[in-house]
Amino acid sequence: MIRSDRILGVVVVIVALVFITSAYNLPQGNLFDKLGPKAFPIIVAIGMIVSAAGLILRPDPEADWPEMPSLLSIGFATVVLVGYAYSLKPLGFLAPTAIAAAILSYQISPRPIPAVLTGIGLSVGLFVIFKYALGLGLFALPRSLMG
Amino acid sequence: MDILSNLALGFEVALSPMTLFLAVVGCFLGTIIGALPGLGPSNGVAILIPITFTMGLDATAALVLLTSVYYGAMYGGRISSILLNIPGDEPAMMTTLDGYPMARNGRAGDALVISGVASFVGALLATIALALVAPYLARIAYKFGPAEYFALYALAFATLGGMASNNQAKSALASFIGLGIALIGIDNNSGFTRFTGGNLHLADGIDFLVAIVGLFAVSEVFFFIESHGKGSAVGVALGKVTVPWREIWSTRWTMLRSSAVGFVAGVLPGAGASLGSFMTYMMEKSIAGKNGGFGTGVAKGVAAPEAGNNAAAGGALVPMLTLGVPGSGTTAVLLAVLMTLNITPGPTLFADRPEVVWGLIAALLIANFVLLAMNVPMVKVFVRILQVPPAILLPGVTMISFVGIYSLSGSYFDLLLMVGFGVMGYLFRKMDIPTVPVILGILLGYQMENNLRHAMTLSGGEWTYLLSSPISIGLWIAAALGFIAPMFLRRYLRKPQMVTD
């Protein structure tokens, strides 16, 4: 039976093998650094393989995953956050924050008008706090507009 | 008397207007953070760290602010436990058992006052015990060489991992993943770049603050999206708050016992505040016996876990300050603060930077009185804040996390990593894989490897050197026991789900 524990276990084993192969290309230790840079990573990777094997051989009962619609909206939230990360610098603080906060707010409680108000309120409120009370160097708008 | 002159130094630092102001602000923010379901001490402190740094606070000020938040959150957690039957943070879970029934009986005010006083007693006694025990432990720690430190780190992983999950393989996996993440970047000893896959952004390694904020704060928003903010159940109204003096007096032994047990639970690496409150509640329940009425809303049932978890919070600072090994999730976060401030916790901290240690201890003593004032007479203010809906709170927390991390490095890549850690935190917590060992691994990986390499160089590559002193043998035995014992105790002591701190 395929369980998420097993999937994770296999993924970790693959990552650990990549770790080990990559560590083998590192140089040996010398007199002043007996172990060198490769020994500890290999120990850690072996630890990863052993504990991942534990997951593959004796997985726990399947985790209580949410239904498909919830999974999709969590995936969508991730995409929104990634987009937010990319846009914060080129587009300034206000617009991306308002949009991202409004979407997250709508996803938690699907009422459009409060969500939009939350987005705008958080964006403006946090900007004022960060910029003027805490003195962080934020840009409100795209820098090209600010001249 | 050494300790008195040390404390005098501490109060000199702590009684400056700025430090006092920060302590009050920290207590206030902390109580709010603790009271709000979904925000607890570890993620509350986590999102505040980047902001603290960008404000340019010095080491003592930053520590005072953040530990006040930590203590405040431990106090605040009980408010929503009692009024909403939802623990405001994990250590406050046991408080729901008697606190909510008490509130249902129309005694919400009494429950809040009794638990507030119990929190005060627990935290105050633990802070005093911290001042007494920590310098002593620091002196022992002077005897530690690289082999002992390596064993000590192994002990921290073993006990924290042993307690943190119901499945040992998962705790071990989490620790190794954390250690693996710590190895990414340039190796400081040899100058070789490791495991970056050629990505230049990774050459400096992964900042542990990014991982902490992602795992603890960003992952929370996914949980609320999944549940649509449900679970913010109907609360109980809070009437007039009076102080039930006689009932508080009747719980005096409960408070003292629970403070002692909680403190010890806190000092043990890995046990932490949740275990402190669990153990004290169970202990008092069996002392009171069947006629004690535990679970129906009795004063001792709220006093025990609150004294216990607040004492554990103070206890957990002991190994963090003296050995550089955190005893719980939140102290791991505080360790990250110290490391970012270029302060190496450990025995030398007490000798080299006494003003930091004793200033912190003095500030904590002061913070306790501030917290008592906030949490008993002013508790109604915080009850009002509880009504902030999650649809505003969680987006706000996420945005603060983004700005905080962005202001540290100004790099979109760190933000992407943070989102990645957020997703990882969600998946791991769903699968009952503890996230605290991951953090611990990222924090301690560098030190652990360094000590191992140092030990091997000293011994000329002889692995038995790791077991060459009684201290290190003792630590390894303790580590093995700490990892294995929970497997056998699990039948009796099954950890409630979702407890990670």
Query: Which of A51, A86, A100 minimises the CB distance to B172?
Result: A51
What's phi and psi for B142, nearest 5 deg?
Answer: -60, -25
Cβ distance B192 to A37 less than 8 Å, yes or no, reads yes
- Provide the token pair at A138: 């934020």
- Provide the token pair at B409: 């490095």
Q: Is A47 on the interface with B (CB under 8 A)?
A: yes
Q: With contact defined as beta carbons under 8 Å apart, do B435 and B425 qualify?
A: yes
The amino acid sitting at B15 is: L
Cβ distance A104 to B426 less than 8 Å, yes or no, reads no
pLDDT digits (tens, 9 = 90+) for B280-295: 888 888 888 888 888 8
pLDDT digits (tens, 9 = 90+) for B107-124: 888 999 999 999 999 999
Mutation site for A-interface testing, chosen from B190, B221, B405, B451 by largest number of A Cβ within 10 Å: B190
Taking Cα atoms as reference points, which of B446, B419, B414 lies closest to residue B199? B414
Long-range contacts (CB closer than 8 Å, 24 or more residues apart) made by B224-228: B224/A108, B224/B38, B224/B390, B224/B394, B225/A70, B225/A73, B225/A74, B225/A77, B225/A104, B225/A107, B225/A108, B226/A66, B226/A70, B226/A74, B228/A108, B228/A109, B228/A110
Cβ distance A105 to B168 less than 8 Å, yes or no, reads no
pLDDT at A104: 94
- Provide the token pair at A134: 């805490």
Say how many C-beta atoms besides its own lie within 10 A of residue B469's C-beta.
Answer: 16
Q: A147 to chain B nearest CA, in Å?
A: 20
Q: With contact defined as beta carbons under 8 Å apart, do B221 and A122 qualify?
A: no
Q: With contact defined as beta carbons under 8 Å apart, do B421 and B68 qualify?
A: no
Q: How confident is the model at residue B498 (pLDDT cuts 50, 70, 90)?
A: very low
Q: Is A51 on the interface with B (CB under 8 A)?
A: yes
A8-12, A33-37, B161-165, B167-171 — which one is most confidently predicted on average?
Answer: A8-12
Judge whether residue B491 has pLDDT over 70: no
Say how many C-beta atoms besides its own lie within 10 A of residue A133's C-beta.
Answer: 9
pLDDT digits (tens, 9 = 90+) for A13-54: 999 999 999 888 888 877 778 888 889 999 999 999 999 999
User: Average pLDDT for residues B301-322, to the nearest whole number?
Assistant: 91
Q: H or E element: which one contains B3?
A: helix B2-14
- Provide the token pair at B216: 């603890």
Q: At what angle do helices B354-375 and B59-84 cross, to 10 degrees?
A: 30
Say how many C-beta atoms besides its own lie within 10 A of residue A12's C-beta.
Answer: 22
From chain A, pick out residues whose CB is under 8 angstroms from the CB of B225.
70, 73-74, 77, 104, 107-108
Q: Which of B39-48, B149-158, B178-187 has the lowest mean pLDDT?
A: B39-48
Judge whether residue A80 has pLDDT over 90: yes
C-alpha–C-alpha distance, residues B402 and A138, integer Å: 12
Q: How confident is the model at residue B501 (pLDDT cuts 50, 70, 90)?
A: very low
Q: How confident is the model at residue B178 (pLDDT cuts 50, 70, 90)?
A: very high
Q: How confident is the model at residue A12 (pLDDT cuts 50, 70, 90)?
A: very high
Q: B455 to chain A nearest CA, in Å?
A: 9
Q: What is the mean pLDDT of chain B?
A: 86
pLDDT at B291: 82
Query: Which of B194, B389, B460 minimises the CB distance to A34?
Result: B460
First to last CA, chain B: 36
What's phi and psi for A45, nearest 5 deg?
Answer: -65, -40
Q: How confident is the model at residue A145 (pLDDT cuts 50, 70, 90)?
A: low
Judge whether residue A147 has pLDDT over 50: no
DSSP symbols for B218-283: IHHHHHHHHHTTTT-PPPPP-------HHHHHHTHHHHHHHHHHHHHHHHSTTTHHHHHHHHHHHH
User: Average pLDDT for residues A77-100, to the nearest whole number?
Assistant: 93
Judge whether residue B403 has pLDDT over 80: yes
Q: H or E element: which one contains B26?
A: helix B17-35
Q: Which of A90-99, A133-142, B329-338, B436-445 has the lowest mean pLDDT?
A: A133-142
User: Average pLDDT for residues B259-269, to the nearest whole number?
Assistant: 87
pLDDT at B452: 93
Listed by number, the residues of chain B in 438-477 with a beta carbon closer than 8 Å to a beta carbon of chain A are 448-449, 452-453, 456-457, 459-461
pLDDT digits (tens, 9 = 90+) for B48-61: 888 788 777 888 88
Helix%, strand%, coil% for chain B, nearest 5: 75, 0, 25
From chain B, pick out residues whose CB is under 8 angstroms from the CB of A5.
431
The secondary structure of residue B185, as a DSSP letter, is E
Largest CA distance in chain B: 71
Q: With contact defined as beta carbons under 8 Å apart, do B151 and B482 qualify?
A: no
Q: With contact defined as beta carbons under 8 Å apart, do B390 and A111 qualify?
A: no
Chain mean position to CA B277: 13
- Provide the token pair at B251: 């719980």
Q: What is the mean pLDDT of chain A?
A: 88
pLDDT digits (tens, 9 = 90+) for B64-75: 899 999 999 988
C-alpha–C-alpha distance, residues B131 and B145, integer Å: 25
Q: Is B230 on the interface with A (CB under 8 A)?
A: no
Domain boundaries, chain B: 2-489
